[in-house]
Amino acid sequence: MKGIDVAAIKRDFPILKIKVNGRPFVYLDSAATSQKPLQVIEAIDKYYNEYNANIHRGVYQIAERATEAYIDSKRKVGALIGTRAIEEVIYVRNTTEGINLVAMTWGDQNIKKGDHILISEMEHHSNIVPWQILAKKKGAVIDYIKLDRQRCELSYESLEKELAKSPKIVAVTQVSNVLGSINDVKKITKMAKKGGAAVLVDGAQSVPHMPVDVNAIGCDFLAFSGHKMLAPTGIGVLYGKRELLDNMEPLFGGGDMIKTVDFQSFTTNDLPWKFEAGTSNIEGGIVFGTAIDYLNRIGMARIRDHEVKLTRYALDAIEGVRGIKVYGCPKSEPEKRGGVISFSINKVHPHDVASIFDRNGIAIRAGHHCAMPLVTGVLGQGAVSRVSFYIYNDERDVDRAVEAIGDVKRVFRVA
């Protein structure tokens, strides 16, 4: 597969031209949020300069243009994940809101006292806490698929064992934001469906980085965030199978989600609008389409290929350094992980590691990465450092990270 032209891509991202502490800026925190290309920034400008109006309601020209652009963006989002039906594409604020929406509607209607909800040990808080809130309210039980420590993926033995309890829903991440592990969500869905469970996939770290097809996976719900894939913050997606969405009550009441209202009652609007009450994030929704155009021009398969190569390069460089512990799959298996590498440097606090990276002009993450049960409970760490890659990163960025690790070791006298 032909590689991607990272130098040309870098030129599209104005922020990558700045200097931090006198050094050219290197951004290695795309798992938290991605940077935005000029095309996206200009599309925001264009919307406000040329056709800012509320959607669905106006009969004047710019309102119709805004409505069409918003709907067109949903078509692009749907096509990206393998559905032609915009009825199945609900715009929410982010992954977190998408998962909460499922827990508060589908969960509220389908989970009863004593029911089991199955998630995994490697979930982000966004795919733990909504289920804990629901379980507390309903008197349900949350079970966890264990991590296979050797293989750094979910244990199928543990999955089998937990599925024997007949959970009503299985909710798992496709890619871990800490370990980078890629879970075989197609296989997990197939196993879960045998027992009749609904399946939700957290696609926050997968949809921006690789081809994802909801039909191939067979899941009922998929949630992901625009801001991790070149779009602005405040726009995300909940995909849901139509037959499930049809039977779910709306979460919020108000404008746009209704067809009719009288003094006593209302009837709901068609999908997906039933779940989009009030004025939407119109700017974010429209510009999400521009972000997807940008990613499609590169191609999701090529993006994935680029990240596998870069991750291999980085693992080769980092794992060999004395005093460093890398979490997740070993370097011989970069195909099994996304472009995320968490690590510790002997006896140095991860926040100090991140500060020294910053001194070197490099942005990385340090902390529990909103996955405390995994980082603290399973890995036994208070915090870890993390580098994560995207389309605008190259080997030179990794070399800069390795130099910064050398700086950390020098400052803290790590042997």
Ligand X SMILES: Cc1ncc(COP(=O)(O)O)c(C=O)c1O
Show which residues are catalytic: 370
Closer residue to ligand X (CB): 54 or 233: 233
Closer residue to ligand X (CB): 16 or 340: 340
- CB of residue 217 to ligand X, shortest distance in Å: 16
Of 30, 34, 83, 94, which lies in the binding site for ligand X, with binding defined by CB under 6 A?
A: 94
120 binds ligand X, rule: CB under 6 A: no
385 binds ligand X, rule: CB under 6 A: no
365 binds ligand X, rule: CB under 6 A: no
Closer residue to ligand X (CB): 66 or 214: 214
| Contact by Cβ (8 Å): 127, 107 | no
- CB of residue 239 to ligand X, shortest distance in Å: 15
The rounded distance, in Å, linking the Cα atoms of 83 and 7 is: 33
What single string gives the DSSP state of each residue in 115-146?
Answer: -EEEEETT--GGGTHHHHHHHHHHT-EEEEEP
- CB of residue 223 to ligand X, shortest distance in Å: 8
30 binds ligand X, rule: CB under 6 A: no
Q: Report how many residues bind ligand X under the rule CB under 6 A.
A: 12
Q: Which residue has the tokens 């009288």?
A: 262
Of 34, 96, 280, 344, which lies in the binding site for ligand X, with binding defined by CB under 6 A?
A: 96
35 binds ligand X, rule: CB under 6 A: no
- CB of residue 318 to ligand X, shortest distance in Å: 21
Closer residue to ligand X (CB): 37 or 203: 203
- CB of residue 126 to ligand X, shortest distance in Å: 4
Of 83, 100, 173, 181, which lies in the binding site for ligand X, with binding defined by CB under 6 A?
A: 173
Closer residue to ligand X (CB): 76 or 209: 209
Question: Which residues, numbered 191-210, are part of the site for ligand X (CB under 6 A)?
Answer: 202, 204-205
| Contact by Cβ (8 Å): 374, 122 | yes
H or E element, residue 397: helix 395-411
Q: How many CB atoms lie within 10 A of CB 325?
A: 13
163 binds ligand X, rule: CB under 6 A: no
> Which residues have CB under 8 Å from 15's CB, separation 6+?
25, 27, 35, 36
177 binds ligand X, rule: CB under 6 A: yes
95 binds ligand X, rule: CB under 6 A: yes
Sign of CA dihedral 254, 258, 260, 266: negative
- CB of residue 316 to ligand X, shortest distance in Å: 25
Of 124, 168, 306, 386, which lies in the binding site for ligand X, with binding defined by CB under 6 A?
A: 124
| Contact by Cβ (8 Å): 197, 168 | yes
Residues facing 154 on adjacent strands: 147
Closer residue to ligand X (CB): 348 or 379: 379
The rounded distance, in Å, linking the Cα atoms of 260 and 258 is: 6
H or E element, residue 267: strand 266-268
- CB of residue 174 to ligand X, shortest distance in Å: 8
276 binds ligand X, rule: CB under 6 A: no
Binding segment toward ligand X, per CB under 6 A, in 88-96, 263-271, 327-335, 346-354: 88-96
What single string gives the DSSP state of each residue in 185-227?
Answer: HHHHHHHHHHTT-EEEEE-TTTTTTS---HHHHT-SEEEEEGG
Question: Which residues, numbered 217-236, are part of the site for ligand X (CB under 6 A)?
Answer: 225
The rounded distance, in Å, linking the Cα atoms of 163 and 170 is: 9
Residues facing 26 on adjacent strands: 362
73 binds ligand X, rule: CB under 6 A: no
With H, G, I as helix, E, B as strand and everything else as coil, classify residue 368: coil
Q: Which amino acid is at 99?
A: I
The rounded distance, in Å, linking the Cα atoms of 81 and 215 is: 8
Site residues (CB under 6 A) for ligand X?
A: 94-96, 124, 126-127, 173, 177, 202, 204-205, 225
